[in-house]
Each structure stands twice: as structure tokens, then as C-alpha cells.
Structure 1
Amino acid sequence: MYRKLHYKYATISAQPFEKMLSQLLAELNCTYTPMRMVFFTTISSNSQYVEYLTLIQRMINDKFGTQAPVISLVAQDTLAHVGLAVEIHEMEILASESLLYKKWNNTSYITLHDDSCKRLFLGGIISKDLNQSIAAQSEEVFDTIEAIMEIESMPIYSIVRQWNYIEKITEYNQERQNYQAFNDVRSLFYDQTEWKNGFPAATGIGMDWGGVMIDLNATLAYNADTNITPIDNPLQVAAHAYSQVQLLGKVDERLSHKTTPKFERAKQVIQCGSGVLYVSGTAAIRGELSLQGVGIEEQTRITIENINVLTGKHPLEIIRVYLKNTEELEAAETVISQLYHGVSAIYLQADVCREELLIEIEGVSIITH
């Protein structure tokens, strides 16, 4: 039987943070079981990041008690007159499924399983010290992920969707680019397993503060009723097959070379014929080269063409739009509203993983019989 997934946004105009959060949560109604909530707002320092995250955790626990969703906070400016936004992932839970709310070392997570598969919802994983190097924070975050997945008997290869938020993603620390430092640690973590069904779908995007933060969904198939498939784009070189030319900064001393971003362009998870298609963060890249000097409108159109190759006949239900330059919001929004009319969207300011890229879009398609 098909389990419907639901994705939506809730937003509120700019006010003092606690007031925005209180009002947003007071007005928030979840029709189904909330599994994940991702909050986006402007943040001015790492100390403020921790302050806001602590407040969110407290107010979410007050609202949901022992059945709180997995939560995370992303330090990205919300655009289009929004002060605070939350992306909500809900699921219809069937009587045949076991839903459990768990905690390990102060990290909350959710498991859901039935006869066909086991799912893990894990998020908001950050370092205890946001002032460490990106490499050190990445190692700590992946250690937490590994510990929880081992407890749950979920192999690393069962990760199907991963969101990687990296503070000041394109900046350098002692000749090492932050994004490359993260990619090298991710590669060392991923090298512990064999990825028979491809790497996860993923987004690697900048944020102003918060160090390194990861959200993920994992699905472990028990039988042929659940099928997990990577989706490739023939117009693009797979990210995990990029040449060394695209990888910036100094080589990690533990490695013989800089490692590629380990993700698929999209990942499909189907249970009994229906399910979800996760579209990775997608930009105006053809082959492995960025389209430079063409402007925001053309980069947006090429990005959407790349996404449409991945989604095929399955329409997008929701998208996130990351813009490098806030002044290009109107131009990007015009193109997106024409090509993705009626699709729920949120616009955020964030550095994309390559300096020359002006926009990145990710999304979700729901696949039904």
C-alpha cells in the first residue's frame, strides 16, 4: 500500500526571532505526522546560531512533546519579504508500520519500518565546537551519523538523501577550500561501504554560520517491494566522476588526491510502485563545466532543463531556490514562475559550491501509480 509523502512551507514576515517563531508554530497545523522541520532565517554569529537553535528545540518540544520531528536550523537569509521559514516533511503512517522516536547522545532521530524497509530520519547534526576547522567539524558530524546508523543496523549505503550545509563554503582555510575539505572527509566516511545502488542524492550549499550541519534520510530495503535507484543526467558528468580540475584547494594529507563530491544527480525510492524522487542540488553545469557569463536568467533556465531531465514525467511538488546574489531574486523568480507554475517554492540567499554559479535548485517529486 502506498504511503503518501507531503511537503510544504510555512513562512512569516520579519520580526524579532522569538516572536516570529512563536507565531509560526502557533499557526502551524500538520495534517499528517511531521518527520522533519528545517528552519531558515538570518543569523549574525555562531553564538546567535546556538541561541536560536536552542530556542527552536525548546519550543518544538513544547508543541510536540515526545513525538517531535527531527529539526535543523539553516543560517541563510530568507528572501521575498520572509523573515523565518520552515520546510515541513510529513508522512501518512500506516497501521502496519512501527514509528519510533529515539535519542542518542542528545541527538534525536526517528525510525519507521515495516515488512518492506526501514527508514531513518536524522538531522540537525552539528559539531560541539563551531569554531573548529571545517574538516574537524565534518569528522565529528560523520562520527555521530556513523554511531546512530550502527545502533540502528542501517549501513552507510542506505543513505538516500543528504543535505550538507557548510559555513562559508567557497572560502579557504590554510589553502584548503571549505567545500573540498568537507568532500574529502565525506569520501573517507563513504569509503567504508560499497554503494551498490549509487550514492545518495545530495545538496552541498553554503550558509553564513553554523559550521557544518547535515540532515539525512536513509532507507534500507528488506525485499523487492522497495526499490532504490540512482538517476543520472546524460547532459552532465556525474559529480562523483569530476576531474581534478574542478576540485579546488590543497590535498588532504591523508589522501593521494582531492576527492570528488559523492552524490547522484537524483535518487528514486519506490515502495510497492509508488514513492519519491529526490532531486539533488542542481545548477547550470553541462558536462562538468559551469555556464559562465550568461546571466541569472540563462543559468536558471539551464538549471531547470537539467532538473527536467531527472524528473521526466513526474512533476515537482516542492523546490528550494538558492541565490548567490539577492538583487537577482526578481529575475530568477520570473523564470521559475513561468517554467514551474504552481510549484511550492522558497527563495534563500546562499553561496553555491562554485563561485561562478549564481543559482542552485533542489526539489522533490512524488511518484504515484
Structure 2
Amino acid sequence: MSMPMTEPDALVRFGYEQAPAELLLQQPDVLAVIGFGASAALPSDPRVLRVGLEPVQASALEVWRGVAPVHSGRDGDLRWSSDGEHLFFAIEADEAAHGGIVAAAQYAYHTLTAFVSGGSTPHLLRLWNYLDAINLGDGDEERYRRFCDGRAQGMRAAAGTRYPAATAIGRQDGVRVLQVYGLAARNAGAAIENPRQVSAWRYPRQYGPTAPTFARGMRTSAAQLLISGTAAVVGHASRHEDDLDAQIEETLANLDSLLRQAAVPDAQLGAGSLLKAYVRDAADAAVLEAALRRRVPRLGGLLLLAGDICRRELLVEIDGSHHAAS
């Protein structure tokens, strides 16, 4: 049975903009302003978040625009803004204050799911997770696996098996603060899985005691797809270890497959696609950008960030949004 979705004219619009954050926040439809890296000039406002990932090139601000005038506020550690149809929310959990990454993730997800489910925009569509040293630790003690444990504990009651699209990337700044932000809406989206990949929540035990809880994508309307973090994984296995070019091509093949599966108009990357690309080694960014510009010459927007991928052998990950070009 299909889930109800927002109408095409009631969508959050995502973009990369160079205007000062203070000027953007004066515009009534601005739902969120997200800056990247330590040098981003950002005011204190519930709609503003500084993400602890450094841009590899001159960075723009990521701007979310709603469909009506926005109001905003804070609820304890959680900041939020809403246009009545959509909700931006963000929470930062200091690991030391909570006793480690498991408890920090459990706290963040329990807090955000309780807040979201209790309001008029109860449907989680998209989540981003950024944590330091994501690959530190061996076996089940790896920090990413421990984060997955805490995330599942925190969101179990609210999510069931209907998971939002999501990204999890490692900060490289040594700051042990878990950052989680996301988008919820009055109407549910439709989760999309990639036929080239095993659904993340069905990963076998070799990847940890708790499988990652996210969908490969979320269609918010007939014309818009929110794309989860995507890498060179086929089935459930990583491909092309230590081969950057091959990993880029496999990642793009996965993105192409996901867009076809979502059955959105213009089901290929292009002018309606806004991408964030994460590279483990900042020196690889030029190769990745050249490949993307070659494959998608009319790409709508690209932001390159230095960040660790959730599997040690993976060198690159890409997420974003796609909307049928007007």
C-alpha cells in the first residue's frame, strides 16, 4: 500500500547559496541554514547549524526553504523550525556528558523522535549523523557500530521498521560531539530501496550486532527524492578496495539505480540534483569532482567535504536530493 506524500508545490527546496547567513535568515521562508567547517560565519539562531566537517573547496551555505513563513525555537538541547508542513530539527550530544557514543546516540534519538512524533509534522523523512573517529575500534567496538547500537535503542519505539533516509559520516576534528539533524513532515514519504543493494536493516551479522536503520532514499512527492549516503556497496559487500576511480563509478551506478527505482521524472542526475560528496582523503576531492562533472555536466549543485566513511575500505560517499528539472 503506498503512503501519502506531499504535493509537488509543497516541497522543501534545498540549495547552496553564498549570501551571508544573517541576510538569509531575514527571508521568511528560510527553514534552515547549515554551514560547514570551523571558519563558516554563522549567527546564533535555532535555524542555524555548524557541521563539524571541513569543506575541501570554497564552501557555500546549505539553505532549506519552506512553503510558508517559518517559526522556530528551542526545546532543551533540540533546536527546531517549522513552516507548518515541514520541520527542521537538530541536536548535539556531548559524548563525555552522556558516557560515550552509545548513550549519546540513544539520548539524541530518543529526544528527537519524541519531539517529532508529538507534533503536527510526525513523519521522519531524512537524517544526517556526524560523529568523530567513526572507524576507531576493532570489531563490534568500532565507533560506528556502537553508534548504530545507540541509534536503534533511541528510535526503536517510534520508527518500527519504517526508516527514513540517512547519512552517517565521520568528523575529522577530534570533537566528540554527535551531531544529528533532519527533516520531518506532516505527510509521510515513500521509502525507496536500491535493487543493487541489500536493505541496510537486513545486513548480516558480520557488519555488527545492530544493523543500520535507514532507507536508501525517500520519495517525498512524485517529483522529489531524498538520497541517502551512497557508496561502492553491491549486495551488502564493499567493492573496489583502494581503487578510487572504481569506487566512484560503482557509487554512481548505485545512484542511477536508485533514481530509476524511485521512478521520479528525469530519473538521472542532472540540473535537478544537489549533491554532497564526502572523501576520506581531501586529496581525492579533485578526482571525484572531475568524475562528477564529466558524468553530470549540468549538475545542480555540489559540495565537497572531508569526512570518514562508515567502512574503512570505502573512500567516497555521496548523498543529496533530486527534483525533476523545471
- TM-score, normalised with respect to structure 2: 0.84
SS in 1 for 2:134: coil
Whose strand proportion is higher, 1 or 2?
1
Return the match for 1:306 from 224, 238, 254: 254
Q: Which runs of 5+ in 1 are unaligned?
A: 12-22, 44-51, 62-67, 222-226, 248-257
Decide whether the 8 Å contact of 2:232 with 2:247 is kept in 1: yes
- Deviation for aligned residue 1:195: 4.2
Q: 2:169 aligns with which of 172, 197, 205?
A: 205
* 2:202 counterpart of 1:241: yes
Which residue of 2 is the match for residue 255 of structure 1? none
Output the CA distance in 2 between the equivalents of 1:28 and 1:120.
Answer: 18
Does residue 6 (structure 1) correspond to residue 13 (structure 2)? The answer is yes
Specify the SS of the correspondent of 1:357: coil
1:253 maps to: none
What's the secondary structure of 1:320's corresponding residue?
strand
- Counterpart of 2:276 (choices 320, 323, 327) is 320
220 and 291 in structure 1: CA distance in 2 versus 1, 3 angstrom threshold: same
- Structure 2 contact 66–83 (Cα < 8 Å) conserved: no
Q: Give the deviation of 1:367 after TM superposition.
A: 4.3
* Bigger-Rg structure (1/2): 1
- Whole-angstrom distance in 1 between the partners of 2:253 and 2:325: 23
Q: Which piece of structure 1 moves more, 30-39 or 236-245?
A: 30-39
Query: Which secondary structure state, in structure 2, belongs to the residue aligned with residue 322 of structure 1?
Result: strand
C-alpha displacement of 1:173: 8.6
Matched, 1:259 2:180: no
* Corresponding residue of 1:252: none
Give the 5 Å matches for 1:54-93.
Answer: 56=42, 59-61=43-45, 70-80=47-57, 82=58, 84-93=59-68
Report if the CA contact (8 A) 1:74-1:210 is conserved.
no
**In structure 2, C-alpha distance between the alignment counterparts of 1:150 and 1:201, rounded to whole Å:** 17
SS of the counterpart of 2:314? coil
The letter of the residue matching 1:264 is A
Q: Render the CA deviation track for 1:315-346: whole Å, top value 9, x for unaligned.
A: 44210000011121221111111112232101
Could you say which residue in structure 2 is the equivalent of 1:49? Answer: none
CA contact (8 A) 2:165 2:217 kept: yes
Q: Return the offset for 1:24.
A: 3.7
Paired-residue identity, %: 21
Query: Residue 138 of structure 1 aligns with which residue?
Result: 105
The answer to whether the aligner puts 1:359 opposite 2:307 as a matched pair is no
| Mapped partners of 2:323, 2:48: distance in 1 | 22
SS at match of 2:83: strand
In structure 2, runs of 5+ residues without a counterpart are 1-6, 261-265
Note closer, same or farther for the CA distance 1:351–1:120 as it changes in structure 2 (3 Å cut).
same
- Give the aligned residue type for 2:137: Y
- Superposition deviation, residue 269 in structure 1: 1.1
SS at 1:319 equivalent: strand
Residues in 2 aligned to 1:288 and 1:303: alpha-carbon distance in whole angstroms: 13
User: What TM-score comes out, normalization by structure 1 length?
Assistant: 0.74
Taking the aligned partners of 2:37 and 2:241, their CA distance within structure 1 comes to 30
> Number of residue pairs matched?
307
Counterparts of 2:257 and 2:166 in 1: how far apart (Å)? 17
Contact 2:29 2:70 (8 Å CA) reproduced: no
The ranges of structure 1 where at least 4 consecutive aligned residues each deviate by more than 6 angstroms after the TM superposition are 29-32
